[in-house]
Structure 1
Protein backbone atom coordinates (compact mmCIF):
# COMPACT_ATOMS: atom_id res chain seq x y z
CA UNK A 1 0.00 0.00 0.00
CA UNK A 2 1.51 3.35 -0.96
CA UNK A 3 1.74 6.26 1.46
CA UNK A 4 -0.42 8.55 -0.66
CA UNK A 5 -3.67 8.23 -2.51
CA UNK A 6 -3.49 10.17 -5.75
CA UNK A 7 -7.00 11.56 -5.72
CA UNK A 8 -7.92 14.95 -7.14
CA UNK A 9 -9.36 16.93 -4.26
CA UNK A 10 -9.06 20.63 -3.49
CA UNK A 11 -8.77 20.03 0.26
CA UNK A 12 -6.54 16.94 0.17
CA UNK A 13 -2.97 17.91 1.16
CA UNK A 14 -0.30 16.85 -1.34
CA UNK A 15 3.34 16.72 -0.20
CA UNK A 16 6.15 17.59 -2.58
CA UNK A 17 8.40 15.00 -0.91
CA UNK A 18 9.29 11.84 -2.83
CA UNK A 19 11.95 9.16 -3.27
CA UNK A 20 14.58 11.86 -3.96
CA UNK A 21 14.34 12.82 -0.26
CA UNK A 22 15.86 9.45 0.69
CA UNK A 23 18.79 9.59 -1.74
CA UNK A 24 21.39 11.04 0.63
CA UNK A 25 20.53 8.66 3.47
CA UNK A 26 20.64 5.55 1.28
CA UNK A 27 24.21 6.40 0.35
CA UNK A 28 25.34 5.68 3.92
CA UNK A 29 24.31 2.00 3.99
CA UNK A 30 26.51 -0.52 5.82
CA UNK A 31 27.93 -3.72 4.31
CA UNK A 32 25.19 -6.05 3.01
CA UNK A 33 25.96 -8.86 5.49
CA UNK A 34 25.80 -6.47 8.45
CA UNK A 35 22.58 -4.92 7.19
CA UNK A 36 20.95 -8.35 6.69
CA UNK A 37 21.87 -9.51 10.20
CA UNK A 38 20.71 -6.24 11.75
CA UNK A 39 17.39 -6.40 9.91
CA UNK A 40 16.78 -10.04 10.84
CA UNK A 41 17.38 -9.46 14.54
CA UNK A 42 15.22 -6.36 14.63
CA UNK A 43 12.38 -7.95 12.70
CA UNK A 44 12.34 -10.95 15.03
CA UNK A 45 12.10 -8.60 18.00
CA UNK A 46 9.30 -6.59 16.36
CA UNK A 47 7.27 -9.70 15.52
CA UNK A 48 7.70 -11.03 19.06
CA UNK A 49 6.60 -7.71 20.56
CA UNK A 50 3.57 -7.50 18.27
CA UNK A 51 2.27 -10.66 19.93
CA UNK A 52 1.88 -8.64 23.14
CA UNK A 53 -0.31 -5.96 21.50
CA UNK A 54 -3.60 -7.32 23.00
CA UNK A 55 -2.26 -6.48 26.47
CA UNK A 56 -2.57 -2.79 25.58
CA UNK A 57 -6.35 -3.16 25.46
CA UNK A 58 -6.61 -4.56 28.99
CA UNK A 59 -8.05 -1.86 31.35
CA UNK A 60 -5.44 -2.07 34.09
CA UNK A 61 -4.22 0.62 36.52
CA UNK A 62 -1.26 2.48 35.07
CA UNK A 63 -2.29 1.63 31.52
CA UNK A 64 -0.72 4.79 30.07
CA UNK A 65 2.60 3.85 31.68
CA UNK A 66 2.37 0.40 30.08
CA UNK A 67 1.62 1.97 26.69
CA UNK A 68 4.60 4.30 26.98
CA UNK A 69 6.88 1.43 27.92
CA UNK A 70 5.55 -0.73 25.06
CA UNK A 71 6.16 2.03 22.51
CA UNK A 72 9.67 2.66 23.81
CA UNK A 73 10.53 -1.03 23.53
CA UNK A 74 9.04 -1.18 20.03
CA UNK A 75 11.17 1.79 18.98
CA UNK A 76 14.29 0.06 20.28
CA UNK A 77 13.36 -3.05 18.34
CA UNK A 78 13.09 -0.90 15.21
CA UNK A 79 16.47 0.71 15.87
CA UNK A 80 15.02 4.07 16.90
CA UNK A 81 16.00 5.98 20.04
CA UNK A 82 14.15 9.00 21.41
CA UNK A 83 15.24 12.02 23.42
CA UNK A 84 12.86 14.52 25.06
CA UNK A 85 13.65 18.15 25.87
CA UNK A 86 12.27 21.64 26.52
CA UNK A 87 9.00 21.95 28.50
CA UNK A 88 7.63 19.42 30.98
CA UNK A 89 5.06 16.82 29.96
CA UNK A 90 1.97 17.92 31.87
CA UNK A 91 -0.30 15.23 33.28
CA UNK A 92 -3.48 16.85 32.04
CA UNK A 93 -6.72 15.12 31.14
CA UNK A 94 -8.43 15.96 27.88
CA UNK A 95 -5.57 17.43 25.84
CA UNK A 96 -5.14 17.51 22.05
CA UNK A 97 -1.57 16.60 21.04
CA UNK A 98 -0.33 17.81 17.64
CA UNK A 99 2.92 17.49 15.71
CA UNK A 100 4.31 17.43 12.21
CA UNK A 101 3.90 14.13 10.37
CA UNK A 102 6.83 12.20 8.92
CA UNK A 103 6.09 8.50 9.32
CA UNK A 104 4.16 5.67 10.92
CA UNK A 105 7.09 5.75 13.38
CA UNK A 106 5.57 8.99 14.76
CA UNK A 107 2.79 6.90 16.31
CA UNK A 108 5.24 4.97 18.49
CA UNK A 109 7.31 8.07 19.27
CA UNK A 110 4.31 10.04 20.54
CA UNK A 111 2.92 6.93 22.22
CA UNK A 112 6.18 6.70 24.17
CA UNK A 113 5.71 10.28 25.41
CA UNK A 114 1.98 11.10 25.48
CA UNK A 115 -0.13 8.04 24.64
CA UNK A 116 -3.65 8.68 23.42
CA UNK A 117 -6.16 8.02 20.66
CA UNK A 118 -4.84 8.95 17.22
CA UNK A 119 -6.69 10.63 14.39
CA UNK A 120 -5.46 8.64 11.39
CA UNK A 121 -6.31 7.87 7.79
CA UNK A 122 -9.19 5.42 7.59
CA UNK A 123 -7.30 2.82 5.54
CA UNK A 124 -4.80 2.40 8.38
CA UNK A 125 -7.31 -0.06 9.83
CA UNK A 126 -6.60 -2.35 6.87
CA UNK A 127 -2.80 -2.37 7.27
CA UNK A 128 -1.16 -5.61 8.51
CA UNK A 129 -0.18 -5.52 12.19
CA UNK A 130 -0.53 -1.74 12.48
CA UNK A 131 -4.24 -2.00 11.65
CA UNK A 132 -4.83 -4.38 14.56
CA UNK A 133 -2.93 -2.02 16.85
CA UNK A 134 -4.96 0.92 15.51
CA UNK A 135 -8.25 -0.77 16.39
CA UNK A 136 -7.06 -1.64 19.87
CA UNK A 137 -5.92 1.94 20.43
CA UNK A 138 -9.35 3.25 19.33
CA UNK A 139 -8.02 5.23 16.40
CA UNK A 140 -10.36 7.95 15.10
CA UNK A 141 -10.50 7.25 11.34
CA UNK A 142 -10.61 10.14 8.90
CA UNK A 143 -11.36 9.82 5.20
CA UNK A 144 -9.22 12.56 3.74
CA UNK A 145 -11.09 12.54 0.43
CA UNK A 146 -14.55 12.85 2.01
CA UNK A 147 -15.17 16.29 3.47
CA UNK A 148 -18.73 15.39 4.50
CA UNK A 149 -17.34 13.09 7.22
CA UNK A 150 -15.06 15.77 8.67
CA UNK A 151 -17.66 17.27 11.10
CA UNK A 152 -18.18 13.78 12.57
CA UNK A 153 -14.43 13.46 13.17
CA UNK A 154 -14.33 16.88 14.85
CA UNK A 155 -17.29 15.95 17.09
CA UNK A 156 -15.57 12.70 18.07
CA UNK A 157 -12.40 14.58 18.98
CA UNK A 158 -14.37 17.09 21.08
CA UNK A 159 -16.32 14.31 22.83
CA UNK A 160 -13.15 12.43 23.76
CA UNK A 161 -11.45 15.59 24.99
CA UNK A 162 -14.48 16.42 27.17
CA UNK A 163 -14.32 12.87 28.54
CA UNK A 164 -10.75 13.54 29.69
CA UNK A 165 -9.03 11.49 27.00
CA UNK A 166 -5.84 12.44 25.16
CA UNK A 167 -6.25 12.73 21.38
CA UNK A 168 -3.32 12.91 18.95
CA UNK A 169 -3.66 14.51 15.50
CA UNK A 170 -1.33 15.37 12.62
CA UNK A 171 -2.70 18.67 11.23
CA UNK A 172 -0.55 18.61 8.09
CA UNK A 173 -2.93 15.97 6.76
CA UNK A 174 -0.18 13.94 5.08
CA UNK A 175 3.42 12.87 5.62
CA UNK A 176 6.50 14.89 4.71
CA UNK A 177 10.18 13.95 4.72
CA UNK A 178 10.98 15.90 7.90
CA UNK A 179 13.26 18.34 6.09
CA UNK A 180 10.33 19.76 4.14
CA UNK A 181 6.93 20.18 5.79
CA UNK A 182 3.39 21.40 5.16
CA UNK A 183 0.97 23.84 6.79
CA UNK A 184 -1.29 22.95 9.70
CA UNK A 185 -4.91 22.62 8.58
CA UNK A 186 -7.29 24.18 11.18
CA UNK A 187 -10.07 21.55 11.06
CA UNK A 188 -8.70 19.27 13.81
CA UNK A 189 -8.29 22.24 16.14
CA UNK A 190 -12.03 22.89 16.11
CA UNK A 191 -12.44 19.89 18.42
CA UNK A 192 -10.21 21.57 21.04
CA UNK A 193 -12.07 24.86 20.63
CA UNK A 194 -15.48 23.18 20.98
CA UNK A 195 -14.37 21.20 24.04
CA UNK A 196 -12.48 24.20 25.51
CA UNK A 197 -9.44 21.99 26.05
CA UNK A 198 -5.74 22.89 25.59
CA UNK A 199 -3.40 21.73 22.84
CA UNK A 200 0.07 20.27 23.39
CA UNK A 201 2.38 20.87 20.39
CA UNK A 202 5.34 18.50 19.95
CA UNK A 203 8.28 19.04 17.60
CA UNK A 204 9.57 15.73 16.19
CA UNK A 205 12.90 15.70 14.34
CA UNK A 206 14.73 12.61 13.10
CA UNK A 207 18.52 12.35 13.04
CA UNK A 208 21.39 9.96 12.41
CA UNK A 209 23.51 9.11 15.42
CA UNK A 210 26.00 11.82 14.39
CA UNK A 211 23.23 14.43 14.66
CA UNK A 212 22.70 14.96 10.92
CA UNK A 213 19.04 15.17 9.79
CA UNK A 214 17.63 11.82 8.68
CA UNK A 215 14.86 11.06 6.18
CA UNK A 216 15.11 7.30 6.75
CA UNK A 217 11.76 7.03 8.63
CA UNK A 218 9.90 9.24 6.14
CA UNK A 219 6.87 7.46 4.64
CA UNK A 220 6.43 9.46 1.46
CA UNK A 221 5.91 9.36 -2.29
CA UNK A 222 5.35 5.86 -3.64
CA UNK A 223 6.61 4.11 -0.49
CA UNK A 224 4.86 0.93 0.54
CA UNK A 225 4.61 0.08 4.23
CA UNK A 226 7.11 -2.77 3.82
CA UNK A 227 9.55 -0.51 1.93
CA UNK A 228 9.40 1.97 4.80
CA UNK A 229 9.76 -0.69 7.51
CA UNK A 230 12.72 -2.22 5.65
CA UNK A 231 14.47 1.13 5.44
CA UNK A 232 14.04 1.78 9.17
CA UNK A 233 15.20 -1.64 10.39
CA UNK A 234 18.24 -1.69 8.11
CA UNK A 235 19.46 1.75 9.18
CA UNK A 236 22.33 1.72 11.67
CA UNK A 237 20.54 3.96 14.19
CA UNK A 238 17.81 6.59 14.02
CA UNK A 239 17.31 9.16 16.77
CA UNK A 240 14.03 11.05 17.17
CA UNK A 241 14.23 14.22 19.21
CA UNK A 242 10.94 15.27 20.82
CA UNK A 243 10.74 18.89 21.87
CA UNK A 244 7.77 19.56 24.17
CA UNK A 245 6.46 23.05 23.40
CA UNK A 246 4.31 25.37 25.53
CA UNK A 247 0.75 24.18 26.10
CA UNK A 248 -1.63 26.29 24.03
CA UNK A 249 -5.00 27.47 25.34
CA UNK A 250 -7.79 26.91 22.78
CA UNK A 251 -9.26 30.41 22.54
CA UNK A 252 -12.21 30.80 20.18
CA UNK A 253 -10.58 30.79 16.74
CA UNK A 254 -9.37 27.49 15.30
CA UNK A 255 -7.26 29.24 12.65
CA UNK A 256 -5.42 31.28 15.27
CA UNK A 257 -4.96 28.14 17.38
CA UNK A 258 -3.60 26.23 14.37
CA UNK A 259 -1.20 29.08 13.56
CA UNK A 260 0.07 29.26 17.15
CA UNK A 261 0.64 25.50 17.29
CA UNK A 262 2.37 25.44 13.91
CA UNK A 263 4.66 28.25 15.01
CA UNK A 264 5.46 26.33 18.21
CA UNK A 265 6.20 23.12 16.28
CA UNK A 266 8.40 24.92 13.73
CA UNK A 267 10.07 27.15 16.31
CA UNK A 268 9.35 30.20 14.15
CA UNK A 269 7.32 32.44 16.46
CA UNK A 270 7.55 33.65 20.04
CA UNK A 271 3.78 34.06 20.41
CA UNK A 272 3.66 30.70 22.18
CA UNK A 273 4.88 32.52 25.30
CA UNK A 274 2.02 34.99 25.17
CA UNK A 275 -1.47 35.17 26.59
CA UNK A 276 -2.63 31.95 24.92
CA UNK A 277 0.17 29.73 26.24
CA UNK A 278 0.75 28.02 29.55
CA UNK A 279 4.46 28.50 30.06
CA UNK A 280 6.35 26.14 32.37
Structure 2
Protein backbone atom coordinates (compact mmCIF):
# COMPACT_ATOMS: atom_id res chain seq x y z
CA UNK A 1 0.00 0.00 0.00
CA UNK A 2 1.36 3.40 -0.92
CA UNK A 3 1.98 5.76 1.91
CA UNK A 4 -0.81 8.30 1.95
CA UNK A 5 -0.08 12.01 2.06
CA UNK A 6 -1.47 13.38 5.34
CA UNK A 7 -4.02 16.16 5.24
CA UNK A 8 -3.22 19.34 7.16
CA UNK A 9 -5.21 19.78 10.35
CA UNK A 10 -8.20 22.10 10.13
CA UNK A 11 -6.96 24.07 13.10
CA UNK A 12 -3.77 23.80 15.18
CA UNK A 13 -5.69 23.04 18.38
CA UNK A 14 -7.73 20.15 16.95
CA UNK A 15 -6.81 16.66 18.22
CA UNK A 16 -4.97 14.49 15.73
CA UNK A 17 -3.80 10.89 15.62
CA UNK A 18 -0.61 9.43 14.14
CA UNK A 19 -2.59 6.47 12.77
CA UNK A 20 -2.69 6.35 8.96
CA UNK A 21 -3.57 3.69 6.40
CA UNK A 22 0.01 4.00 5.12
CA UNK A 23 1.25 2.59 8.43
CA UNK A 24 -1.13 -0.36 8.07
CA UNK A 25 -3.15 0.83 11.03
CA UNK A 26 -6.25 0.26 8.94
CA UNK A 27 -5.47 -2.63 6.64
CA UNK A 28 -6.33 -6.29 6.74
CA UNK A 29 -3.53 -8.77 5.94
CA UNK A 30 -2.85 -9.19 2.26
CA UNK A 31 -1.88 -12.78 1.56
CA UNK A 32 -1.16 -12.07 -2.10
CA UNK A 33 1.35 -9.35 -1.19
CA UNK A 34 3.28 -11.52 1.24
CA UNK A 35 2.47 -15.21 0.68
CA UNK A 36 5.38 -16.45 2.77
CA UNK A 37 4.31 -14.74 5.99
CA UNK A 38 1.81 -15.65 8.68
CA UNK A 39 -0.60 -13.30 6.95
CA UNK A 40 -0.96 -15.85 4.16
CA UNK A 41 -3.58 -17.60 6.30
CA UNK A 42 -5.90 -14.68 5.73
CA UNK A 43 -8.50 -15.33 3.06
CA UNK A 44 -10.70 -12.36 2.18
CA UNK A 45 -14.38 -12.98 1.64
CA UNK A 46 -15.26 -13.70 -2.00
CA UNK A 47 -16.10 -10.60 -3.99
CA UNK A 48 -19.76 -11.63 -4.61
CA UNK A 49 -20.30 -12.09 -0.86
CA UNK A 50 -18.60 -8.78 -0.13
CA UNK A 51 -20.77 -7.01 -2.71
CA UNK A 52 -23.88 -8.58 -1.19
CA UNK A 53 -22.87 -7.36 2.27
CA UNK A 54 -22.14 -3.89 0.98
CA UNK A 55 -25.50 -3.69 -0.78
CA UNK A 56 -27.33 -5.01 2.28
CA UNK A 57 -25.59 -2.57 4.59
CA UNK A 58 -26.29 0.46 2.41
CA UNK A 59 -29.91 -0.63 1.91
CA UNK A 60 -30.37 -0.93 5.67
CA UNK A 61 -28.95 2.56 6.17
CA UNK A 62 -31.33 3.95 3.53
CA UNK A 63 -34.21 2.12 5.16
CA UNK A 64 -33.49 4.11 8.30
CA UNK A 65 -33.75 7.34 6.31
CA UNK A 66 -37.17 6.31 5.03
CA UNK A 67 -38.59 5.05 8.33
CA UNK A 68 -37.12 7.52 10.78
CA UNK A 69 -39.64 10.33 10.15
CA UNK A 70 -42.48 7.89 10.81
CA UNK A 71 -41.00 7.16 14.25
CA UNK A 72 -41.28 10.82 15.28
CA UNK A 73 -44.74 10.56 16.93
CA UNK A 74 -43.70 7.57 19.02
CA UNK A 75 -42.83 7.96 22.72
CA UNK A 76 -39.14 8.33 23.53
CA UNK A 77 -38.83 4.73 24.71
CA UNK A 78 -40.34 3.46 21.45
CA UNK A 79 -38.01 5.59 19.32
CA UNK A 80 -34.96 4.39 21.22
CA UNK A 81 -36.05 0.77 20.81
CA UNK A 82 -36.40 1.27 17.05
CA UNK A 83 -32.99 2.97 16.85
CA UNK A 84 -31.45 0.05 18.73
CA UNK A 85 -32.99 -2.50 16.36
CA UNK A 86 -32.02 -0.52 13.28
CA UNK A 87 -28.42 -0.02 14.45
CA UNK A 88 -28.06 -3.75 15.13
CA UNK A 89 -29.42 -4.47 11.66
CA UNK A 90 -26.91 -2.09 10.06
CA UNK A 91 -23.94 -3.71 11.81
CA UNK A 92 -25.04 -7.23 10.93
CA UNK A 93 -25.89 -6.32 7.34
CA UNK A 94 -22.27 -5.25 6.80
CA UNK A 95 -21.20 -8.71 7.99
CA UNK A 96 -19.93 -7.64 11.41
CA UNK A 97 -20.63 -9.75 14.48
CA UNK A 98 -20.72 -8.03 17.82
CA UNK A 99 -20.77 -9.02 21.44
CA UNK A 100 -21.69 -6.91 24.44
CA UNK A 101 -20.06 -7.33 27.84
CA UNK A 102 -20.93 -5.54 31.05
CA UNK A 103 -24.28 -4.57 32.50
CA UNK A 104 -26.45 -2.07 30.66
CA UNK A 105 -27.30 0.74 33.08
CA UNK A 106 -31.00 1.41 33.71
CA UNK A 107 -32.22 4.49 31.85
CA UNK A 108 -33.29 6.35 34.97
CA UNK A 109 -31.16 9.49 34.79
CA UNK A 110 -29.27 11.51 32.18
CA UNK A 111 -25.87 10.19 31.19
CA UNK A 112 -23.00 11.17 28.95
CA UNK A 113 -21.74 8.09 27.12
CA UNK A 114 -18.08 8.33 26.11
CA UNK A 115 -16.21 5.79 23.99
CA UNK A 116 -12.92 5.33 22.20
CA UNK A 117 -13.06 6.04 18.49
CA UNK A 118 -11.74 3.59 15.89
CA UNK A 119 -14.21 3.51 13.03
CA UNK A 120 -17.46 4.76 11.55
CA UNK A 121 -18.78 1.43 12.85
CA UNK A 122 -18.48 2.80 16.39
CA UNK A 123 -21.61 4.90 15.87
CA UNK A 124 -24.11 2.12 15.05
CA UNK A 125 -22.42 -0.15 17.61
CA UNK A 126 -22.97 2.28 20.47
CA UNK A 127 -26.48 3.06 19.22
CA UNK A 128 -27.27 -0.66 19.17
CA UNK A 129 -26.49 -0.90 22.89
CA UNK A 130 -27.00 2.57 24.38
CA UNK A 131 -29.08 4.59 21.90
CA UNK A 132 -29.19 8.33 22.38
CA UNK A 133 -28.26 11.61 20.74
CA UNK A 134 -24.86 11.52 19.05
CA UNK A 135 -22.36 14.36 18.89
CA UNK A 136 -20.82 14.84 15.45
CA UNK A 137 -18.72 17.45 13.74
CA UNK A 138 -20.57 20.05 11.67
CA UNK A 139 -19.25 18.67 8.35
CA UNK A 140 -21.27 15.47 8.79
CA UNK A 141 -24.49 17.47 8.31
CA UNK A 142 -23.56 17.99 4.66
CA UNK A 143 -22.78 14.35 3.89
CA UNK A 144 -25.11 12.69 1.34
CA UNK A 145 -27.73 10.44 2.98
CA UNK A 146 -25.78 10.01 6.22
CA UNK A 147 -26.00 13.71 7.06
CA UNK A 148 -29.78 13.76 6.62
CA UNK A 149 -30.09 10.55 8.64
CA UNK A 150 -27.97 11.97 11.44
CA UNK A 151 -30.03 15.16 11.54
CA UNK A 152 -33.31 13.24 11.66
CA UNK A 153 -31.88 11.17 14.50
CA UNK A 154 -31.31 14.25 16.64
CA UNK A 155 -27.53 14.42 16.25
CA UNK A 156 -25.90 17.42 17.91
CA UNK A 157 -23.60 18.99 15.31
CA UNK A 158 -20.70 20.97 16.74
CA UNK A 159 -18.24 23.28 15.07
CA UNK A 160 -14.72 22.14 15.90
CA UNK A 161 -12.95 24.87 13.94
CA UNK A 162 -12.66 27.42 16.72
CA UNK A 163 -12.46 27.59 20.48
CA UNK A 164 -15.02 30.40 20.62
CA UNK A 165 -17.77 28.08 19.42
CA UNK A 166 -17.13 25.30 21.93
CA UNK A 167 -18.97 26.92 24.87
CA UNK A 168 -22.11 26.96 22.74
CA UNK A 169 -21.62 23.28 21.94
CA UNK A 170 -21.26 22.51 25.64
CA UNK A 171 -24.50 24.37 26.33
CA UNK A 172 -26.29 22.29 23.69
CA UNK A 173 -25.06 19.06 25.24
CA UNK A 174 -26.01 20.25 28.71
CA UNK A 175 -29.51 21.13 27.50
CA UNK A 176 -29.92 17.65 26.03
CA UNK A 177 -28.80 16.09 29.32
CA UNK A 178 -31.07 18.35 31.35
CA UNK A 179 -33.98 17.15 29.22
CA UNK A 180 -33.33 13.70 30.64
CA UNK A 181 -31.65 12.23 27.59
CA UNK A 182 -28.56 10.21 26.81
CA UNK A 183 -25.80 11.85 24.78
CA UNK A 184 -22.91 9.96 23.17
CA UNK A 185 -19.51 11.54 22.48
CA UNK A 186 -16.11 10.37 21.29
CA UNK A 187 -13.86 12.63 23.37
CA UNK A 188 -10.61 11.61 21.64
CA UNK A 189 -11.80 13.98 18.92
CA UNK A 190 -10.31 11.83 16.17
CA UNK A 191 -10.19 8.18 15.20
CA UNK A 192 -7.32 5.96 16.32
CA UNK A 193 -6.38 2.56 14.96
CA UNK A 194 -7.16 0.79 18.24
CA UNK A 195 -3.60 -0.23 19.03
CA UNK A 196 -3.25 3.18 20.63
CA UNK A 197 -5.74 5.72 21.94
CA UNK A 198 -5.91 9.46 22.29
CA UNK A 199 -6.30 11.75 25.26
CA UNK A 200 -9.89 12.42 26.28
CA UNK A 201 -10.51 16.12 25.73
CA UNK A 202 -12.22 17.57 28.82
CA UNK A 203 -14.43 20.22 27.18
CA UNK A 204 -17.65 18.23 26.74
CA UNK A 205 -17.33 16.71 30.21
CA UNK A 206 -18.25 20.18 31.49
CA UNK A 207 -21.83 19.45 30.38
CA UNK A 208 -21.92 16.47 32.77
CA UNK A 209 -20.46 18.60 35.57
CA UNK A 210 -23.00 21.38 35.04
CA UNK A 211 -25.99 19.02 34.94
CA UNK A 212 -24.83 16.47 37.52
CA UNK A 213 -25.09 13.69 34.94
CA UNK A 214 -23.23 10.41 35.23
CA UNK A 215 -20.56 9.49 32.69
CA UNK A 216 -20.88 6.04 31.12
CA UNK A 217 -17.56 4.87 29.61
CA UNK A 218 -17.60 2.31 26.80
CA UNK A 219 -14.69 0.54 25.12
CA UNK A 220 -14.89 -0.81 21.56
CA UNK A 221 -12.47 -3.43 20.22
CA UNK A 222 -12.35 -5.12 16.83
CA UNK A 223 -10.98 -8.51 15.78
CA UNK A 224 -9.09 -9.07 13.53
CA UNK A 225 -7.28 -5.93 14.46
CA UNK A 226 -7.11 -3.07 11.98
CA UNK A 227 -9.76 -4.08 9.46
CA UNK A 228 -12.39 -1.73 10.87
CA UNK A 229 -10.05 1.22 11.36
CA UNK A 230 -11.07 4.44 9.61
CA UNK A 231 -8.18 6.80 10.17
CA UNK A 232 -6.38 9.76 8.70
CA UNK A 233 -7.19 10.38 5.04
CA UNK A 234 -8.71 6.92 4.60
CA UNK A 235 -11.58 7.00 2.09
CA UNK A 236 -15.00 5.87 3.30
CA UNK A 237 -15.42 3.62 0.25
CA UNK A 238 -12.11 1.88 0.96
CA UNK A 239 -13.08 1.39 4.59
CA UNK A 240 -16.48 -0.05 3.65
CA UNK A 241 -14.87 -2.50 1.23
CA UNK A 242 -12.28 -3.54 3.81
CA UNK A 243 -15.04 -4.26 6.34
CA UNK A 244 -17.22 -6.35 4.02
CA UNK A 245 -14.22 -8.37 2.75
CA UNK A 246 -12.91 -9.27 6.20
CA UNK A 247 -14.24 -12.68 7.28
CA UNK A 248 -15.23 -13.06 10.90
CA UNK A 249 -14.94 -9.37 11.73
CA UNK A 250 -16.13 -9.08 15.31
CA UNK A 251 -16.71 -6.03 17.47
CA UNK A 252 -16.78 -6.16 21.25
CA UNK A 253 -18.61 -3.41 23.10
CA UNK A 254 -17.63 -3.28 26.76
CA UNK A 255 -19.93 -1.33 29.07
CA UNK A 256 -17.75 -0.20 31.95
CA UNK A 257 -18.70 1.01 35.42
CA UNK A 258 -20.38 4.44 35.39
CA UNK A 259 -18.45 7.40 36.78
CA UNK A 260 -20.13 9.84 39.14
CA UNK A 261 -19.56 13.57 38.98
CA UNK A 262 -19.91 13.57 42.76
CA UNK A 263 -16.61 11.73 42.98
CA UNK A 264 -15.01 13.69 40.11
CA UNK A 265 -16.62 17.17 40.26
CA UNK A 266 -14.22 18.69 37.76
CA UNK A 267 -14.17 18.30 34.00
CA UNK A 268 -10.46 17.44 33.88
CA UNK A 269 -10.72 14.84 36.61
CA UNK A 270 -13.84 13.43 34.99
CA UNK A 271 -12.14 13.17 31.59
CA UNK A 272 -9.04 11.57 33.13
CA UNK A 273 -11.14 9.01 35.03
CA UNK A 274 -13.10 8.11 31.88
CA UNK A 275 -9.90 7.83 29.86
CA UNK A 276 -8.32 5.55 32.43
CA UNK A 277 -11.43 3.35 32.38
CA UNK A 278 -11.50 3.07 28.58
CA UNK A 279 -7.72 2.96 28.09
CA UNK A 280 -6.27 1.23 31.16
CA UNK A 281 -2.60 1.96 31.84
CA UNK A 282 -0.43 2.59 29.96
CA UNK A 283 -2.31 5.67 28.73
CA UNK A 284 -0.92 8.39 26.47
CA UNK A 285 2.10 9.93 28.20
CA UNK A 286 1.34 12.56 30.82
CA UNK A 287 -2.41 12.55 30.06
CA UNK A 288 -3.66 11.49 33.47
CA UNK A 289 -0.90 13.09 35.58
CA UNK A 290 -1.44 16.42 33.85
CA UNK A 291 -5.16 16.22 34.46
CA UNK A 292 -4.69 15.63 38.16
CA UNK A 293 -1.96 18.22 38.52
CA UNK A 294 -4.18 20.77 36.81
CA UNK A 295 -6.95 20.47 39.37
CA UNK A 296 -5.55 23.12 41.70
CA UNK A 297 -5.58 25.74 38.96
CA UNK A 298 -8.45 24.46 36.87
CA UNK A 299 -11.41 26.72 36.17
CA UNK A 300 -13.81 23.91 35.26
CA UNK A 301 -16.62 25.14 37.48
CA UNK A 302 -16.66 28.66 36.07
CA UNK A 303 -19.48 29.77 33.75
CA UNK A 304 -19.51 28.52 30.18
CA UNK A 305 -17.66 31.56 28.87
CA UNK A 306 -14.47 30.30 30.51
CA UNK A 307 -14.86 26.59 29.89
CA UNK A 308 -12.33 26.38 27.10
CA UNK A 309 -9.54 28.64 28.30
CA UNK A 310 -6.51 26.44 27.76
CA UNK A 311 -3.34 26.46 25.74
CA UNK A 312 -3.45 25.33 22.14
CA UNK A 313 -2.42 21.81 21.25
CA UNK A 314 0.52 21.17 19.00
CA UNK A 315 -0.39 20.46 15.37
CA UNK A 316 0.22 16.94 14.09
CA UNK A 317 1.10 15.65 10.69
CA UNK A 318 -2.14 13.77 10.13
CA UNK A 319 -5.75 14.53 10.93
CA UNK A 320 -8.84 12.36 10.83
CA UNK A 321 -10.74 15.16 9.14
CA UNK A 322 -13.21 12.76 7.58
CA UNK A 323 -14.22 10.79 10.60
CA UNK A 324 -17.88 11.11 11.57
CA UNK A 325 -17.40 12.72 14.95
The TM tier, using the shorter chain, reads: 0.7 to 0.9
Given the two structures, how large is their TM-score scaled by the length of structure 2?
Answer: 0.75
What are the superposed Cα offsets for residues 5-33 of structure 1, whole Å, 9 maximum, x if unpaired?
623634211101011213453445536xx
SS in 2 for 1:25: coil
> Looking at both structures, which has the greater relative contact order when contacts are Cα pairs under 8 Å and sequence separation is at least 6?
2
Give the distance between the partners of 2:29 and 2:267, measured in 1 at CA.
37
Partner of 2:14: 12
Q: Point out the structure with max Rg over C-alpha.
A: 2
Candidates 163, 170, 194, aligned match of 1:178: 194
SS in 2 for 1:173: coil
Consecutive unaligned residues in structure 2, runs of 5 or more: 32-38, 283-325
Partner of 2:120: 104
Partner of 2:273: 260
| Residues 1-280 of structure 1 mapped to structure 2, 5 A cutoff | 6-7=8-9, 9-19=11-21, 20=23, 21-23=25-27, 25-27=29-31, 30=43, 34-53=45-64, 54-57=66-69, 58-59=71-72, 60-61=74-75, 62-208=78-224, 214-251=225-262, 252-268=265-281
SS in 2 for 1:112: helix
SS in 2 for 1:240: strand
> Contact 2:26 / 2:230 at 8 angstroms: preserved in 1?
no
- Report the CA distance between 1:268 and its aligned residue: 3.6
> Contact 1:25 / 1:215 at 8 angstroms: preserved in 2?
no
Q: How many residues align?
A: 260
**Of 10-19 and 98-107, the range deviating more from structure 2:** 10-19
Give the distance between the partners of 1:226 and 1:69, measured in 2 at CA.
25
Given the two structures, how large is their TM-score scaled by the length of structure 1?
Answer: 0.86
- Report the CA distance between 1:156 and its aligned residue: 0.4
> Contact 1:161 / 1:195 at 8 angstroms: preserved in 2?
yes
